Chains A and B, each alone.
Chain A
Amino acid sequence: MTDLLLQAKSLRKAFGAVQATHNVSLDIRKGEIHALIGPNGAGKTTLIKQLSGEILSDSGEIWFKGNNIASLPMHRRALLGIGRSFQITSVFDELSVRENIALAVQAHQGHSFRFWKPVNDDKRLQQATSLALRQCGLEERAAEVAVSLSHGEKRQLDVGMVLAGNPDLLLLDEPMAGMGPGGTMKMTELIQGLKNQASILLIEHDMQAVFALADRITVLVYGEVLVTGTPDEIRNHPEVQSAYLGNRNPDAAA
């Protein structure tokens, strides 16, 4: 059990009469890429929101590094080591690339009720920021306002901000959405590279990427876990094929 980073037990969330997630149990091992797939409306994004704390679960437990975090607010979970990138790229448009990264770094350097010292003179903050900028490959663009970046660069920045916090778990909600084939390949490589730094829960529609990246896959249908297994097990699972993959071999389909 010690190799488990996160363990979700019987998570449930209803919006009125609609059961978005129903008895979802899921565990994420240290160092694995765990993909979450399922048809539209299966509750994937709801589950990510439950795990990150954007919405609180109606019932169930979430164990992360030995704590039940199910009732903690989002910022507390973030500080514990859960990083999240959004389905729609979410950066601070009017701030510079450097300021974007600095905000992510600053969040993990203690509270920010520091009213007097200008951030530009703040060595501890600026050094860590420079390092994080190098890591996400945006050093050259540091002075640009985020809104002027290209789509791919914004994605890079988005992920860079998450990584600046050195999370143990990354929740990636469709990181390849809206990318061309070239971008998808780059992002696949990037995620592969992240594997050494953090465990990853990945929602993605691009099946080729999912089967290339994932160590394990959980299939969510109508808010319930259909099956969890290795890519091979999922590929050959009869119910998955009929429910989701439409009886086709995913390799052939992609």
Chain B
Amino acid sequence: MAGLKSRSGILLLLAVLFFVLLPPVSSLLGEQYLISFFSRILIYALAAVSLDLILGYAGMVSLGHAAFFGMGAYGVGFLAFHFQESTPFLFGIEGTDNALLSWPFAMVFSATLAAVIGALSLRTSGVYFIMITLAFAQMLYYLFVSLEAYGGDDGLSLWSRNTLGPLDLSDDTVFYYVCMAALSAFLFISWRLVHSRFGQVIRGIRENELRMQTLGYATWRYQLVCFIIAGAGAGLAGALMANQTEFVSPGLMHWTHSGEILVMVLLGGMGTLFGPVLGATVFLLMEDILAAYTEHWMVFLGPFLIFIVLFARRGLYGLIVKGEKHGD
């Protein structure tokens, strides 16, 4: 990782301090709602980082990433629902409210779906890839809208958050730190990933897929594995989101939701792991602040985004750390 004297090192240090100190400071100021608001930011940051793996590092523009986010949320939702009803879920699997079971389940659920969608979508590239990922996500959206057993359009309410060993997730501060731990773990894993042999290969494919094949790489396999890893990451974010709101609905999979996650990545900086965290933070803060003045807050976000995309190739993160090497 970049040394702590570099700008990215200082930024990272400040971000860690900020996020660690946020709950006690909010409590001190009596602004408790900030804790759950920033939990949401951490969750979206996790989703955005996972999208950045395929968008920024592997160069695959997916407009269906919210599908994996939503599937993760429903993974937790299904298990919680059957736990409440005391009915078996598919294949005799019992419902559960234990996070140690249902969160990995949510990740596997999303990853499996990503394997299927990815395997089919990766037969195409470019605009077709964008459209087909979008189409798959919308198909899932409508599938879940029509799943009456699980609330259909109205979604599914959870009675409570999951249990996680001795931790009380219903406490917002505890839940906040759990989200932070999940994001940190995923960031660390991603950081190792993009600097490994595998990471070099997906960057090579982004730059020039044909050349990679003539060098001897079965590019499709690497792209698919990357897509699956990103799907699992989004699944974890979805599982956290289901716990945060204690509610899951098909809206989580809607393409506009995919678009929002995409905007977070673009805003923060593609191909930079910490950029998407910054992007999610700025996006949700802008939404929160501007929405207090006007429901048409996108009117302000739009020009801002255009400005960033035109003048800062690697987003806000690129503006701050400028000049440092790609991927650090």
Contact = CB atoms under 8 A, between A and B. Distances in A.
B79 to A, nearest CB: 28
A93 B59 CA distance: 14
Given A90-B208, A90-B210, A92-B208, A78 B215 contact: yes
Interface stretch (A30-38, A119-127, A176-184, A225-233): A119-127
A147 to B, nearest CB: 10
A102 B215 CA distance: 11
Contacts of A118: 192, 195-196
Interface stretch (B93-101, B113-121, B217-225): B217-225
A74 B195 contact: no
A106 B218 CA distance: 13
A120 B207 contact: no
B196 A116 contact: yes
Interface in B189-212: 192-193, 195-201, 203-204, 207-208, 210-212
A83 B215 CA distance: 7
Interface stretch (A19-27, A107-115, A239-247): A107-115
A102 B198 CA distance: 12
A226 B198 CA distance: 46
Contacts of A189: none
A120 B326 contact: no
Query: On chain A, which size bracket covers the interface?
Result: 35 or more
B213 interface: yes
B215 A165 contact: yes
Given A78-B213, A103-B201, A73 B218 contact: yes
Contacts, number: 92
B216 interface: yes
A104 interface: yes
8 contacts: A73-B218, A75-B213, A78-B213, A84-B214, A90-B208, A103-B201, A103-B215, A116-B196
Interface of A: 52, 54, 73-75, 78-79, 83-84, 86, 90-95, 99, 102-104, 106-108, 112-120, 122, 125, 161, 165
A112 B198 contact: yes
A78 B216 contact: yes
A239 to B, nearest CB: 34
B192 A107 contact: no
A117 B193 CA distance: 8
Given A52-B214, A161-B215, A113 B207 contact: no
A73 B212 CA distance: 13
B215 A115 contact: no
Contacts of B201: 103, 106, 112
A200 to B, nearest CB: 16
B191 to A, nearest CB: 9
Nearest to B201: A112
